[in-house]
Amino acid sequence: MAFRIPQRFEVFSDCKGFSFNGLINSVGKFTCTCSIARFKLDNLLTACCFDLRTNGVCSCQYDFVIAESEDIKNSLPVDATIKSRATKAAALALECRAALYAGSIAKYGAMTPLVSLPGDIVGIPANKSQEYYTKALSAANEIIDGKAGAYKLYNSIPNLSENFAAIFYDKTTSNKESIFVEDFKAYAGKTHSYTVNTQPFSQSEEAANSDAGRLNPSLNLVQSYEKLDNTFSPIETINSDGTPVYYSLITDVFKNRDARLAATVILPGESFKGKLVDVWAGYILSNGTVFTAANSSVLRALPGTTENVQVVGSDGPVDGLAFRTQTGFYNRKYLDPIPQSGTRGRGSDLPFIRYRYAEILLNAAEASFELGNFTKASFFINQVRSRAGFTIPITLNSDNGFDRIANERRVELAFEGHFLFDMKRWRIANSVWDGSKMTITDLRSNIGVATKRNTQPFGLLPYKYFNPGNINHGKWLFKEVLPGKVTGALSFRNGNYYSQIDPLAIIANPKLLKQPNQ
């Protein structure tokens, strides 16, 4: 009779691989032992001080995660309805991501030669990149081909923006996109405060609106969502002659863009929980001056009138005013539409998705691209784009492929914990966050380029035009601004590619080394 390891040990292996993968992404190389070790008490400290310099480069750790996933995958359930327990698809998704990260570090590590230590303790040899990309693609294909369960892109709602938003709040078994989630349950001692902290101010369900609006998406992100003709373009605020562009509706400025934009970001003029989110910065008078107030409760009479009226949105933006948007946008992804989910007493029980099918498709696209199969890469990426409303497929090639894949990951996976690690594994974080302040020209140029500077978060402020008798009276115009609280610029140094090892740990184990440039 064949001996079968109890499934609880397979689940442990999956959890171990998941934890180790997070460690590698943060600290790079670390020493692990998977065998039972026996030490004498009088020699315990010396015996436990493993030497990184004799334990191989950090590819060994990625190899461990990949091997663990391979070892257990066929002993785990093949069931797309299981979301918060280890499954074959969860193991493969972990393997796919780990192999993709390893391949990236191997290929692009040479871009940051200063991120190194003697003996190649950090980094992965460049000649291993193809091996890892092949493993990433193989793991992705097992999921895509249905060998791990019937996973697919979520397509249940005709409105494409509502459909994308629902991926993150549909907890029913009909949601076959999520592969592995951290689940929560209301009134059972396990909820979170994401909706409490990020809901629009005017819709805060906390007493006296005491918490809201803590996460404001930037205009930098918003303009990364393409137009539906596959072109990148800044938000159109001025004409070629420098005059403002006027819009009849506040939402018109965002028309004909990627459907994922309105599903990821609450835009001015949009609604949440069936109520309008009141975002506008004030009036622009005929002479170009701004007419506004420090709070929406402060009513003022417009020039030439006697009636006191609201002159700024109840949801902002008011520069520096707590709980109101500072950028003109609120976050939508992962906001819970259920009543009382925005209260501290109940909280939200929406799951946080750790792996989903769209990421697998994008991983497959990237791995195929890096392996030189542009046709396959295009096939995978266009599946994701089609759901977002794009009807014209794009063709990836050696010139546009990297930038296209990088931007697609940015907009599809926004606020899901990928962007920082993507910048790090491609070794472009020090270029994107180079410590230099940005101008409006910087903001509006090179959209869709992976290495575009992104050191300061800009906002987009909507204004009503007040000029009675003028053809544009009552219409909307917009201004790109840098919020007043943004005074510095993000600087990613070479020492940030790996997280710091606690100095006390180095004192305790003299065989540990400081990370590069730390």
Go through 487-511 and write b for each residue having 16 or more CB atoms within 10 A of its CB, e for each that does not: eeebebebbbbbeebeeeeeeebee
Contact between 478 and 253 (Cβ < 8 Å):
yes
| Cβ-based neighbour number of residue 345 at 10 Å | 10
Contact between 99 and 360 (Cβ < 8 Å):
no
Rounded Cα gap, residues 49 and 62, in angstroms? 21
Distances (CA, A) of 326 to 149, 206, 267, 269, 512: 43, 20, 13, 16, 44
pLDDT the model gives residue 121: 72
Residue with structure tokens 């101008």?
Answer: 439
Asked if residue 268 belongs to a domain, the reply is no
CA 16 to chain centre: 24
Asked if residue 196 belongs to a domain, the reply is no
pLDDT the model gives residue 27: 53
pLDDT the model gives residue 498: 86
Longest dimension (CA), the chain: 93
The beta strand positions in 325-475, using DSSP E, are 330-331, 352-356, 459-466
Asked if residue 343 belongs to a domain, the reply is no
**Per-residue model confidence as pLDDT tens digits over 419-444:** 999 999 999 999 999 999 999 999 99
Distances (CA, A) of 454 to 228, 457, 506: 24, 7, 34
CA atoms in the 13 A half-sphere facing the CB of 36:
1
Rounded Cα gap, residues 433 and 403, in angstroms? 17
What torsion do the CA atoms of 14, 16, 18, 22 make, to the nearest 10 degrees? -170
pLDDT along the chain (518 residues), means of 10: 42 52 55 49 48 50 89 95 95 97 95 77 89 98 98 98 98 94 92 95 83 96 98 97 97 98 98 95 97 96 96 96 97 96 93 98 99 99 99 98 99 98 97 98 98 99 98 98 97 89 82 75
Asked if residue 451 belongs to a domain, the reply is no
pTM: 0.90
Rounded Cα gap, residues 198 and 196, in angstroms? 6
Rounded Cα gap, residues 109 and 117, in angstroms? 13
305-314 long-range CB contacts below 8 Å, 24 or more apart? 311/282, 311/283, 312/280, 312/281, 312/282, 313/268, 313/278, 313/279, 313/280, 313/281, 314/201, 314/202, 314/278
User: Which two tokens mark 250?
Assistant: 């506040």
**Per-residue model confidence as pLDDT tens digits over 53-71:** 444 445 578 888 899 999 9
pLDDT the model gives residue 19: 58
pLDDT the model gives residue 57: 46
Rounded Cα gap, residues 479 and 244, in angstroms? 9
Host domain of residue 53: 7-152+356-388+398-407+497-508
Residue with structure tokens 């115009």?
Answer: 477
Asked if residue 21 belongs to a domain, the reply is yes
Rounded Cα gap, residues 50 and 258, in angstroms? 51
Alpha helices in 28-87, H assignment, sequence order: 44-48, 59-72
**Per-residue model confidence as pLDDT tens digits over 109-118:** 998 878 877 7
Asked if residue 171 belongs to a domain, the reply is no
Packing angle, helices 401-412 and 374-387, rounded to 10? 30
Q: Give the chain's domain count.
A: 1
Residue 275: its H or E element: strand 275-276
Asked if residue 223 belongs to a domain, the reply is no
Q: Is the peptide bond before 317 cis (omega within 30 degrees of 0)?
A: yes
Asked if residue 226 belongs to a domain, the reply is no
Contact between 323 and 204 (Cβ < 8 Å):
yes
8-state DSSP, 120: T
pLDDT the model gives residue 26: 56
User: Which two tokens mark 93?
Assistant: 């998704």
